[in-house]
Amino acid sequence: MAKEEKVGITNLDKIKNKKQYKSAVGSARSAVFFILTLSFIVFVAIAIYAIWSEGLTTFVKTIESVNLGYFLLSLAIIFFSYAMRFPKWSLYLQKLGVHIPIGRNFVIYLSMYSMDITPGRWGRAIVSYTINNLAKVKFAVTFPAVVADIFTDFLGFAIITDVTALILNRFVVLSFIITILLIIPFLFVYIQQPYEYVKKKYLKFRNRFKFLRRLDLVASTADVYFVHNKKLGWKPFLFSMALTIPSMFLNGMALYVIIEAFGVHLGTGDIVTILFIFSSSLVLGMITGIPGTLGVTDAALVSQLQIFFPGIIDVGMASAITIMFRIASVWFVEIFGFAALLYTLRYWKDK
């Protein structure tokens, strides 16, 4: 009997049964555990920095001062912010001609976030195969929905960063430059002309250099992607942003609530500042391409909290706030996403 082929991101359409699906999910899950381990190491580094700056006793007291009621409220806000983006995902599938009962679709949608910190968010591609199994469509049909969901999420962060930078009149040029740099790759995904130009050049060199033929799969997949992506059009993106921007606002408010949890009482006038700190820290992490924006976003949060609130938030407080917020915005999301992923396994039947 031939040895079972290992399933990876490049051959998802070859998945034949539940066992192979679990193998593919297991590969992504291992990446998630590895990245969460790195996240814990980052937390330890932040704690060591705070202890070195102000002493162990002071930092421990700061951590212990957190109001768990406020922290639980921040978790509820984050979950609701993710749930309110579900209608845009549902609209994408509808435009692509994929119809799944709303209850099942919602659980599948949440399961995407179980692997959201994997490189390139390829965990989303794996769990989206569940949809293809239920709807009896090929992987390429629903992949434009995955790309659109990622793009609009990023765009929500970018818009909040740029608008709040303008209001605060701080880091305006830097914010817009970073936003433009991050948008450029997405333009190649949504505008077909640049791809066709690159493909034309590729076909030319492919005939000269045979080793380039390994990229034929990439080219054929891109061809199918653009065919189905045209079904989305541009109008759904306007609807998406009407949901995404308020959702990102709520994520920023979760940071505000966690700051309150440590007894730092800010006014409503500081909400814009908190939104800028939240969104710009994530955008800075995104530009590095590091999974989960580990290290970069954490460092940006610690530094910006001190920069914008000198004399109110010191290094120990900034470190504690950052650790608790990242637990809420990264670890908690992975937990409810993984719970949803386990539930979706029931939608798979061995052939």
Q: What is the CA radius of gyration of the chain?
A: 22
Alpha carbon of 91 to those of 101, 145, 149, 174, 322: distances in Å? 13, 9, 11, 34, 34
Query: Residue 232: left (phi > 0), alpha (psi -120 to 50), or beta?
Result: alpha
Burial of 201 (0-12, 13-18, 19+ CB in 10 A): exposed
Residue 146 in this model has a pLDDT that exceeds 60: yes
Q: How far apart are CA 227 and CA 140, in angstroms?
A: 9
Lowest mean pLDDT among 134-143, 150-159, 342-351: 342-351
Q: What is the pLDDT of residue 23?
A: 60
CB 14 within 8 A of CB 341: no
CA 243 remoteness from chain centre: 16
pLDDT of residue 246: 94
Contact 75/328 with Cβ under 8 angstroms?
yes
Please give the pLDDT value at position 239.
Answer: 86
325, pLDDT greater than 90: yes
Of 19-33, 119-133, 332-346, give the range with the top mean pLDDT: 332-346
Task: For residue 202, give both structure tokens.
Answer: 């590729």
When pLDDT is cut at 50, 70 and 90, the band that residue 12 belongs to is very low
> What is the rounded CA–CA span in Å between residue 141 and residue 279?
32
Q: Pick the residue with more confidence: 324 or 117?
A: 324
Per-residue pLDDT of 103-116, as tens digits, reads 999 999 998 888 77
Q: Which residues have C-beta within 8 Å of that of residue 229, sequence separation ≥ 6?
A: 144, 147, 190
CB atoms within 10 A of CB 224: 15
Torsion of CA 25, 27, 30, 34, to 10 degrees: -120
Q: Which residue has the higher pLDDT, 283 or 195?
A: 283
pLDDT-derived band of residue 33, with 50, 70 and 90 as boundaries? confident
Mean pLDDT over residues 196-212, rounded?
Answer: 79
Range in 135-149, 170-184, 189-203, 213-227 with the lowest mean pLDDT = 213-227
Taking the mean position of all CA atoms in its chain, how far away is CA 338? 14
Among 153, 13, 115, which residue's Cα sits nearest to residue 342? 115
The CB-side HSE value for 276 (13 A sphere, CA atoms) comes to 25
What is the per-residue pLDDT across 79-106, written as a single tens digit (0 to 9) for each? 999 999 999 999 998 888 888 889 999 9
* Per-residue pLDDT, 4: 38
From the number of C-beta atoms within 10 Å of its C-beta (0-12, 13-18, 19+), residue 159 rates as middle
Mean local confidence (pLDDT), 327-336: 92
- Model confidence at 348, in pLDDT bands (50, 70, 90)? low
Evaluate if residue 10 carries a pLDDT over 50. Answer: no
Q: Which residues contact 263 (CB under 8 A, 6 or more apart)?
A: 65, 67
Asked if the model's pLDDT at residue 321 lies above 70, the reply is: yes
Backbone phi and psi for residue 120, each to the nearest 5 degrees, phi listed first = 65, 15
pLDDT for the residue 292? 64
Residue 308 pLDDT exceeds 90:
yes
Mean pLDDT of the chain: 82
Q: What is the pLDDT of residues 39-63, one digit of tens each?
A: 778 888 888 888 998 888 999 999 9
The pLDDT score that the predictor gives to residue 319 is 95
Residue 253 has pLDDT above 80, yes or no: yes
Give me the helices (H) in 169-264, please: 172-190, 192-206, 216-229, 235-261
Task: Determine the average pLDDT of the residues in 235-250.
Answer: 89
| Spatial separation of the C-alpha atoms in residues 192 and 322, rounded to whole Å | 40
Those residues whose C-beta lies under 8 Å from the C-beta of residue 181, and which sit 6 or more positions away, are 287
Confidence of residue 270 (pLDDT cuts 50, 70, 90): very high
